[in-house]
Amino acid sequence: MSSKSLTLSGVSKRFGNVTALDNFNLEVGVGELVALLGPSGCGKTTALRVVAGLEHQDKGTVLVAEKNISDVPAHKRNMGMVFQAYSLFPNLTVEENVAFGLQMRKVNKLVRLKKAHQLLDLVGLDSQSKRFTHQLSGGQQQRVALARALAFEPEILLLDEPLSALDAQVRVNLREEIRRLQLSLGTTTLFVTHDQEEAMSISDRVGVMNEGVLEQMDTPEALYNKPASAFVAGFVGTMNRIPAQIADGMVEIFGSKVVALKRGNESGQVVALIRPESISVIANSSQPNAKVLTRSFMGASSNIICQTGDGTIVQSLMTSASTGDLHPGSSVQLHVLSSEVLVANV
Amino acid sequence: MAKLIKSNFQLPLVITLLILGLFVFVPMISAFEYSIRTPAKGGYGWDSYLWAIREEEFVYYIIRSTWLAGVTVLITLFILVPTLTWIHLSNSKARGLIDGLSLLPLVIPVVAFAVGAQISFPEFVKNTVLELPFLYFVLALPYAYRALDIGLSAIPLKTITEAARSAGANWLRTITSVIIPVIRGSVMATIALTFALSLGEFTLTVLLHWDTFPTWVTYVAQENILGAIAISMMSLILPFLLLTIITLFVPERSTQGRK
C-alpha cells in the first residue's frame, strides 16, 4: 500500500475579503481517517481543496510523507478524491470510470480493467460494470466514485462531503462501507463533512473548524466529553446552556455545587455547558425546581424538555424505562449527574 | 392500436414539419425538376448533370471548399473549446461581455469585414488561401459559440473537470478525454454549423478575390444556369454524406448525463 502521511503547516487562503484558512495546521498519520467538521464557510472544504491542489494556498506548505508538494499541480499529486455528487463521467461506463485514473497513468487496458473490477467488487457493484452512470442510483454513483478514487492506489484519499446528497439510510450504509474499505486498504483519508454524526462515527480523529482555524483536533470521544472550547461544545452533540455564578471554582446548578471546568478566564456570571444525558429528571420530588414541557419517546431513550423557575429551557436524555412518571406539566426536580461541568462566558 | 396512434400523433409537430417542408423541400424539388429539363430536346434528361461531371473544375472546387471548411472546423474547435471551458470554470464577470462580443460578426456587414481584412492584413496573409478559414471562423463564431456554450452549461463542468484532474488528467487530457466526449452533441452541432457555413460562404470569398465552390457555381450560372443548378444539387450530397459519416463514426454513447 502506498499510503502516506499528510501535513499542512501554516496554510492561509483568502478569497477576496473572506479568510477561508488562517494559519491552518493539520497532521494526518499513515492509514488514519481524519474528519474536518464545521459549519458552512468554516474553511474545511478549502483545506481539502488545497490538499488536492484544486486551490493554491496564499501561504504555508502541504507535505505528503515529509515531501513538499505545495506547488505540484493537481493531476500529479496522486490523490483520490470523492466529490459531493455528479462527478462521474457520463460518457463512460462504470468500469471505464473506475479505470480512468489508471488510463491517465498509461496502465495497459487489461490490467486497468482487472483493477477496476476488483474495486467494483469491493464496493459491491461489479454486476453493474457495463452500465452508464446515469442508470445508477445516487448511492451507487458515490460507490463508483469511491472505487474510481481508490483504483490508482492514491497516497491520500480525499472525501468532500460524499454523503450529503444521499438519503438518510443510504448515508449510514455508505459511511460504514467507506470506513470498512479505508481500514482494509489502509488509505490515509481526509474527510470533510458538516454532519457531526458522520464525522464522529467513522473517524479516528475529528478536527472541529471555525472561521478558518482548527478549534480542536481529537478523538470523537474526547471531543464529546472534553470539548476545548464553548464552540466545540456547542457544535458537537447537544449541549444545555445553563446560567450560573462561579464562586471559588464552583458553580451552583439546580441547587447543588459542582466543579467548574474553565477553558479561559471565565469568572462571575457564566453559562454551564451540560450534556442532556448528564441531567436527570426526578418525578414526585419534595423539592421541585422545574416543570416538564414535553417528553419525546425515541425507543430505548426519551428526550425530556423542562423549564426551570427562572425560565431556562433544559433538555434531558434518559432511558425510557425511568421516565414513566414524567408528563407535560408535572413538577420535577432537575439534578446534575456529573461532578464537574464546563463553563463559558455568557 | 388506434389509441397508440392517437397518443403518438402530435398535431403541432406535424404542422411545424409541414411548414418547414414547404419552405425547404418545395424549392429544392422545384430546382431539381428544373435541372433535369432538356430545353433543346424538350422533356427530361440528365444532360446538365453529365455536363457538370465532365467539367474538370467541379471536383477541384469541391475538394478545395471541403478542405477549407475542414480547416475552419479545426480552428473553431481548437480555439473555442478551451476558451469556453475557461470562461465557464473561471466564473468570470467578463462572460457577459464575451457573450456579447461573440455576436458581433452577425451585425458587422461582411463587406466591411472583407474590406477591413484587405486593408489591414499583411501581404503574406493575403497571399494564401488559408486566410479564408480564419475569417470563416469569425463568421461562424456566433453559432459555434452558442452551440458549445449550451453544451457546457448543461453539464456539471467544474466537478467533472476537477474529478478528471485529481484522477491524474492534465488539462489537455481533461479537455480531449472528458469534456469533448461529454458535450459530444454540442461539438457535433458546432462541426456541422461551421462546416456548412464555410462550405457555402460566398460574399467574403468573392470580395477577397478567392475562388471556391460557391463562387465557381455563380460563375458557371452566368453561362449555363441548368448546369449550375445540377452542380448545386450534387454538391448538397457532399456535406450530407460527410456529416452522416461523422455522426456514424463517433460511437453513440450515453446521453449527456442529463437526468
Q: Do both A211 and A277 map to the same domain?
A: no
Separation between Cα atoms, residue B115 and residue B204, nearest integer Å: 9
| A270 is a domain residue | yes
Question: What is the pLDDT confidence band of residue A83, given thresholds at 50, 70 and 90?
Answer: very high
**CB-CB under 8 Å, A133 with B259:** no
Separation between Cα atoms, residue B25 and residue A231, nearest integer Å: 73
Could you tell me what percent of chain B has a pLDDT over 70?
A: 92
Q: Do both A218 and A273 map to the same domain?
A: no
Identify which has the larger pLDDT, A340 or B75. B75
Q: What is the pLDDT of residue A10?
A: 94
Total domains in chain B come to: 1
Kindly report the number of other CB atoms within 10 A of residue B203's CB atom: 15
| B255 is a domain residue | no
Best probe of the B interface among A81, A104, A153, A156, by most B CBs < 10 A, is A104
Largest CA distance in chain B: 73
Could you tell me what percent of chain A has a pLDDT over 90?
A: 71
| A220 is a domain residue | yes
| B119 is a domain residue | yes
Q: Do both A174 and A258 map to the same domain?
A: no
Which residues of A make CB contacts under 8 Å with B?
A: 52-54, 73-81, 83-92, 100-101, 103-105, 132-134, 145, 148-149, 152, 158
Q: How many CA atoms lie within 13 A of B228 on its CB side?
A: 13
Q: Backbone phi, then psi, for A111, in 5-degree steps?
A: -65, -45
| B2 is a domain residue | no
Query: Scanning every residue of chain B, which has its alpha carbon at the shortest distance from the alpha carbon of A152?
Result: B167
Helix (H, G, I), strand (E, B) or coil at A90: coil
Query: Scanning every residue of chain B, which has its alpha carbon at the shortest distance from the alpha carbon of A76?
Result: B168
Q: Do both A165 and A198 map to the same domain?
A: yes
Of B169, B254, B258, the CB nearest to A91: B254
Q: What is the pLDDT of residue A62?
A: 96
Q: Do both A221 and A249 map to the same domain?
A: no
Question: What is the pLDDT confidence band of residue A227, given thresholds at 50, 70 and 90?
Answer: confident
What tens digit of pLDDT does each residue of B212-247 get? 999 999 998 898 888 899 888 888 877 777 777 777
Query: All 3 cell numbers of residue A254?
Result: 439546580
CA-based nearest distance A132→chain B, Å: 7
What tens digit of pLDDT does each residue of A271-305 get? 999 999 999 999 888 888 899 999 999 899 999 99
pLDDT at B253 over 80: no
Q: Do both A197 and A264 map to the same domain?
A: no
Range(s) of the domain holding residue A248:
238-345
Query: All 3 cell numbers of residue A222?
Result: 474526547
CA-based nearest residue to A290, from A243, A335, A341: A335
**CB-CB under 8 Å, B168 with A78:** yes
Total domains in chain A come to: 2
Of A75, A78, A103, the CB nearest to B165: A75
Instruction: Give the predicted TM-score (pTM) of the model.
Output: 0.82
CA-based nearest distance A189→chain B, Å: 15
Helix residue ranges, H only, chain A: 44-52, 94-104, 109-122, 138-151, 168-185, 196-202, 220-225, 230-235
Identify which has the larger pLDDT, B1 or A84. A84
Q: Which of A207, A230, A253 is the last residue of a domain?
A: A230
Tell me the CATH number at A75: 3.40.50.300
**CB-CB under 8 Å, A86 with B156:** yes
Separation between Cα atoms, residue A56 and residue B79, nearest integer Å: 27
Q: What is the pLDDT of residue A338?
A: 87
Backbone φ/ψ region at A329: left (φ over 0), alpha (ψ -120 to 50), beta: left
Q: Do both A146 and A223 map to the same domain?
A: yes
Of A80, A87, A104, the CB nearest to B160: A87
Q: Do both A213 and A252 map to the same domain?
A: no
Q: What is the pLDDT of residue B6?
A: 55
Separation between Cα atoms, residue B203 and residue B214, nearest integer Å: 9
What tens digit of pLDDT does each residue of B91-136 get? 878 888 999 999 999 999 999 988 888 888 888 888 899 999 999 9
| B1 is a domain residue | no
Helix (H, G, I), strand (E, B) or coil at B226: helix
Q: What is the pLDDT of residue B248?
A: 73
Rounded to an integer, the average pLDDT of B2-6 is 51
Number of A–B residue contacts, CB under 8 Å: 95
Q: Do both A213 and A331 map to the same domain?
A: no
**CB-CB under 8 Å, B163 with A91:** no
Separation between Cα atoms, residue B25 and residue A60, nearest integer Å: 68
Tell me the CATH number at B99: 1.10.3720.10
Q: Which of A170, A200, A230 is the last residue of a domain?
A: A230
Average pLDDT score, chain A: 91
**C-alpha separations of A42 from A38, A147, A154, A195 in Å:** 6, 29, 27, 13
Rounded to an integer, the average pLDDT of B135-145 is 95
Contact of B188 with chain A, judged by CB distance below 8 Å, is answered with no
Identify which has the larger pLDDT, A178 or B41. A178
**CB-CB under 8 Å, A134 with B254:** yes
Q: Do both A187 and A270 map to the same domain?
A: no
Strand pairing category for A256-261 and A250-253: antiparallel
Q: Do both A224 and A244 map to the same domain?
A: no
| A1 is a domain residue | no
Range(s) of the domain holding residue B219:
27-249
Q: Do both A221 and A244 map to the same domain?
A: no
Q: Which of A185, A200, A230 is the last residue of a domain?
A: A230
Q: What is the pLDDT of residue B95?
A: 87
Strand order in the sheet with A290-297: A279-283, A331-336, A290-297, A301-308, A313-319
List, as ranges, residues 227-256 from B with C-beta within 8 Å of A. Answer: 253-256
